[in-house]
Structures are given as C-alpha cells and as structure tokens.
Amino acid sequence: MERVVLSMQDPDQGVKMRNQRLLITVIPHAVTGNDIMEWLIRKYCISEEEALHLSALLLRHGYLYPLQDPGSLVLRPDETLYRFQTPYFWTSTLWPAAELDYAIYLAKKNIRKHGALVDHEKKQYDQLHRKINYMWDLVVMQAREQLRAAKQRRKGDRLVIACQEQIYWLVNRPPPGVPNMLEQGPERGSSTARRVPMNTDFYKWEIECCRKALGRTRVKSSVSLEAYLKFSSQHRPHDPIMSGCLPSNPWITDDDTYWAMNASSVAVPTKLRVERWGFSFQELLEDPVGRAHFMDFLRKEFSGEMPHPPPAPFQAPVREVGDPPSRFQTALATAQGGPDLVPGPPAENLSFWEACEELRHGGQAQVPGLVDAVYQQFLAPGAARWVNIDSQTMEWTLEGLSQPHRYMLDAAQLHIYMLMKKDSYPRFLKSDMYKALLAEAVIPPETKRRVFPFMRKPWHSSSSPALLPATAPGGPGGEGGEA
C-alpha cells in the first residue's frame, strides 16, 4: 500500500494535487475523491468497484484522510477533499501508540471543545485519568503547550495537523465496534457468521446428520489403544528424549558427530535412519537419503537388474452418449500415453512427485514456467518422461492449465503417490537392496545407558570453576597449605 501511495504522490505521473479552498481556508496539496478514483482505474486497469475498495483500504489504514469529515473512513468519488498522511504517521514506522500520547491528544481535544468529547473518547479519557493520575499534571501541561504552539500557525496548517492526528488515533485506537485494521487478518467466509433460519428444513437436515453419525463405523477403544501401543513401541528407539542420542547429545557436549551422521546427505546412513524408512512411505520420501536410494531401486528395477512384474494390459476408454469428442480424445490419449507410448518406468513417478513438490514450495514468479515444464515433461502426449494417470485426473489438470497455480497438480501428485505406495514401496522393503542397506548401516558406539535417559547429567568440555580443587599454592591457607 505504501508503494501505491508513493506512486500517487509522484509529481509527474501521480494524482494531481493543488491548493483547495475549504470555506475560507486554503488547504495545500489536496486531492479530490474523484481524482483518486480516476488515477487508480487508469494506473492499474481495474474496475470502478475495485478502485473504490482499494481507496477504502488506504483510508482505513491511515494513508489518506478526509478534510471535511475526519471521522469518516469511506472515500466518496466526488469533490470531497482528501490529503495524504505524512510518512511520520505511517504504520511501517512502528511509532508506538503510547497511552501518554493518547492522553495528551484527548486532553487537547477536551480543552479545545470545552469537554464535548464523543462517548467512547470520554470513556477513554476518564480511564486514562484514573490510570496515570500520578502524571496527569504533565499531560495537561503538554496539551496546553501544544495548543499554544498551534495558535501561532496558519489556520490551514492547524486544520491539516488536527486531521493527521485524528486519523492516526482512529487507526490505532478505533472506536468500539470498528475492527482494528492493524490486527485484522484477511477476511474469510465463515458459515457461523450467517444466521440459519430455524425452520422445518433445518431440523430435517439436522436429524439426517445425526442419523448418519449414528450409523458411522466406530473404532473400538481396545483396537485404538493397541495401535497406540504399537506406534509407541515402534518409535521409542528413535526418540532422542526417551532413548538418548548416539553417540552423544551434541546440545550438552562438544561432539557434533550426531549431526554429522544424520545430515541430509551422507554416504552411509545409520541403522535407525534406515529402519524409519520402513515405518511408512511418507518417512521414506521425507528423507533425502532414503528418497535417493528409492530412486536407485526404481531405476535398477526398470533396467532389468531386479525382477519387475509386467505392465497391466491396455484398456481403451468407452465413449458414452453425450460426451464431447475432445473429452474422449483426452481420455484416449491419457490411457495410451500418446502415440506409440507405453506406461513409463517407475522412476519417472518419483521424479514427477519431486517436480510437484518443487512447484508447490517454489517461488510465485516461477509457477507458470514450472507448470508448463512439468506438463511438457511428464503429462503431455509424447512426453519424454511420461507418467500414467487416470482420465479424470488428466481432465482436471488440463482444465487448470488455463490459469496455472502451485496446487493445480495436487490431484495428479496424489494419484502417483498412491501408486508408488501400493506398488513400488512394498517391493522396495522386500528387496535385497533394502536388506543390504540395513546390514551395512552404521551403528554408532553406544554410550553408557541409564534407567532414565532424560536424567543424564550434562557433560562439560572443561572443568567448572565451582569444581576446582580447594588446594592451591599461595592460597588463603598459606603457601602450599590447605584452604
């Protein structure tokens, strides 16, 4: 928003600012609401509704303020006069809205209006008077001094400064019922915000939901507790708090071998690390070393070094009545993988999954290019590294190509993920490669174990001054004597 404000204040290409007369007072560098709307529409090529919304945001955040009605934070697209807030009061300066400053502002306003404050300001004034009563004399003295200094300025400058202060405190101390723009996040639709009418249809819907809930399959507590115990016993050796770190805890010692052995890229992983790959497919994919070995397994399996089951026979899609020709051709191309193509090797599935992860977590500017590259490399008919996905998922993907975003390949990624989890992952765990990795994995030398590992005493790399021997030459007990 501040970049927009700076562009609007540009002397050559910004909003036209000129001296405007407000009754008998001349206001310098004022703009009208109509000029602001026209500049936003011309500059950003947006509709009138969007320009009105953007200008309202600038007003609510205090970058613009009206001169005729400072309490109104709604832009009027007419000849109403506005001014830009001075950068000293911008939110980016992080100027603290202290209670003392707010009390001085309210005291000034109370003196100027002879006690005629708004209800919420009157309430705030009384609360601050009680809260900082010990320094209220300073508050009143500062307010009177600022009012005396303001009388020496021109009337136009006094009006501008008063409006600047008022819009600042409207943003930082909003009235009751007005949302605080500095603490409010993006607006989200909420079903609870709408009031549901309590009629016959509502109660029928509620009864149907309750009936479905009663018929839902429940898991017995004994089964869930058994699964919890199995999970705990399986993960207990891999928990550094319960089982300790091998060979030593780098947080309490000077030995960083634990970090070196469990780095993201090591030649030989530890045995505990290889065992975690067998817990779940997600554990294998989250580990870069495990993902690299899984990729090596898939490539060797496809090259013939390992036995691999034959591919499933091709089944042509059936065109139903009413389907457009384009949809049938898409499904046919998907099932065939393009002209003269057979389903790609399993290693391409993992490469496609990694490309989708890069798209999801990459920069926003690279999203269109990454989407096109992934589609041309893995999904397009005749792609060099083609992967096999179902026709419905391909149709969703093709529809998303018109407006690419970072999540448009989630359906295809999930399809490939489940395919690897049900097909390639079990074969990897049963393969000789995984058994060899378990046999060759590094087992760190075990330190002295205790009954309760979390009660280990911290090890010191050097002796503590508190543990130094009490005897020292020339000590308080005499030369070479005992202290």
Q: What is the mean pLDDT of each successive set of 10 residues along the chain, which is 483 residues long?
A: 87 84 76 89 89 87 81 80 85 78 90 84 89 90 90 83 84 80 53 64 90 84 89 88 84 84 87 90 92 91 58 42 42 41 66 92 88 91 88 88 87 92 92 91 69 50 43 42 39
- The CA distance from 52 to 387, in Å, is 48
Which residue is listed with tokens 């008022």? 166
Rounded Cα gap, residues 167 and 71, in angstroms? 7
What's the CA gap between 349 and 425, in Å, rounded?
12
On whether the CB atoms of residues 65 and 82 are closer than 8 A, the answer is yes
pTM recorded for the entire structure: 0.46
How far is residue 229's CA from residue 232's CA, in Å, rounded to a whole number? 5
Contact 396, 411 (CB under 8 A): yes
- Under the phi-then-psi rule, with left for phi > 0, alpha for psi from -120 to 50, and beta for the rest, what region is 76? beta
- Rounded to 10 degrees, the C-alpha dihedral 63/67/71/76 comes to -80
Please state whether beta strands 25-32 and 18-22 pair in parallel, antiparallel, or not at all (unpaired): antiparallel
**Predicted pLDDT at 448:** 52
